[in-house]
Chains A and B, each alone.
Chain A
Amino acid sequence: MTELPPHTESELIELVRSSDVRAPDSLHRQVSTMIASRPRRRRLALHPPVLGAVAAAAVVVVVALAVALSGGGSPTLHFNQAAAPTLRAATLSAPPESSTNHAELTAAVDGVKFPYWEDRFGWRSTGMRSDQIAGRAITTVFYSDASGRRIGYAIIAGHPAPRIGGGVVLWRGGVPYRLLATNGAAVVTWLRDGHLCVVSGRGVSSATLLRLASWSDHDASAS
């Protein structure tokens, strides 16, 4: 241990280089979880020139698919635009519970189903709406609880998913959830099967939103 603070540059360098500060155990665990749950891809045993050609072809296919799937949509959908429908009124009737999977509703976007929360959490689906914002189709399902609070759950169609930055990132089950706020409402955003999902509700805490979002992501998409 150094008894005195470093007074010279060489003492400072020595102190900094000899630092043995360990990262918290929680961070070590988190990194291990991320490594274990990373997306795995099949390795191709190809020579560099062949690999280059394959990569170039793959880029063309991915771009073509992205344009086709997104309907020419712009990936620059802003956070406020993505969250806006979750705070608007429903315009369609509520989707019913799926008859094959009791963790899901029948409504879906590109195969990504909306969760069924009524039995487990008491949040009943009450309506739905469909929007086209910045070239993206956004489908939102609304849920209400017994005390009349409301949550909007939006899934944004198309690839690549718009990027959302800022806020605070919390991890649940290897998935990063971004906690933000807009117009006085807490918002949580994350990805499900490459689709941006947004949940938000006035008077509903971030903790509640995060619990609902992470439950539905784990159970509804895994089943």
Chain B
Amino acid sequence: MRTLDPQSLTQHVDRLYRAAWALCGSREDAEDLVQETFARVLARPRVLSGDDELYYLMRVLRNTFLTGRRTASRRPVTVATLDEVVAADPRPLGQPERALEMQEVYASIAALPEDRRLALVAVDVLGLSYREAARALRVREATITTRLFRARKEVARLLVSELAPEPPQIPVARREETRASGVLSSGETS
């Protein structure tokens, strides 16, 4: 048992941000989620049973994410009319091709059903072991294995289908035109 050292949290900001981005699908929402998560953690001293802070942060991130989703779904009036919204950091993410690629990957993860998404974020994005992920998400280890298997498969499929070139298509108007002219010419010959 030990008390969480708040100063040590700064080293996890980047990883937590990536996890939040994959959960929410947008950089702006990810920033809010990370802020909310740290606000919760820092609200009072925390006692950790193990050594891994990341596992604990994943648990709080998951709870904050799910609470936010629930609150948003039953909120009667929540559309804030803002004249001042601090936009997410507009800087590009380093190499542009890589940035685009990661954006697509995170968007695909965010499109997964919630339980699979959380499993993939815990293991692949945050780097938790299956056991830690299971504890953080309060499910059995075998469940993590299954969800992760499906999640990876689905994300890979989504990425391939998104990036695959589309087959050439004839515009509808042109098809109609072709058909009409065909009918007309057969009428002329009769």
Interface residues of A (CB under 8 A from B): 1-2, 5-9, 11-13, 15-17, 19-28, 30-32, 34-35, 38-39, 41, 43, 48, 79-80, 165-171, 176, 179-183, 186, 205-207, 210
Contact = CB atoms under 8 A, between A and B. Distances in A.
28 contacts: A5-B101, A5-B159, A12-B155, A15-B105, A21-B99, A21-B102, A22-B17, A22-B93, A23-B18, A23-B31, A24-B89, A26-B89, A27-B34, A28-B13, A31-B34, A32-B10, A35-B10, A39-B43, A166-B78, A168-B85, A179-B82, A180-B80, A181-B77, A181-B78, A206-B83, A206-B84, A207-B83, A210-B84
B162 to A, nearest CB: 8
Contacts of B3: 43
Interface stretch (B68-76, B110-118, B173-181): B68-76
A183 B94 CA distance: 44
A17 B156 contact: no
Interface in B1-39: 1, 3, 6-7, 9-10, 13-14, 16-18, 21, 27, 31-32, 34-36, 38-39
Given A7-B160, A181-B81, A24 B14 contact: no
B97 interface: yes
A191 to B, nearest CB: 11
Q: Which 3 A-B pairs have the closest CB atoms?
A: A24-B89, A23-B17, A165-B71
Nearest to A16: B124
Nearest to A35: B6
Nearest to B160: A7
For the residues of B in contact with A, the DSSP-based class is: helix
B4 to A, nearest CB: 11
A188 to B, nearest CB: 9
Given A31-B38, A165-B67, A166-B72, 13 more contacts: A6-B159, A12-B152, A17-B124, A21-B93, A23-B16, A23-B17, A26-B89, A31-B10, A35-B10, A38-B43, A43-B3, A165-B71, A206-B80
B76 A80 contact: yes
B91 interface: yes
Contacts of B38: 31, 34-35
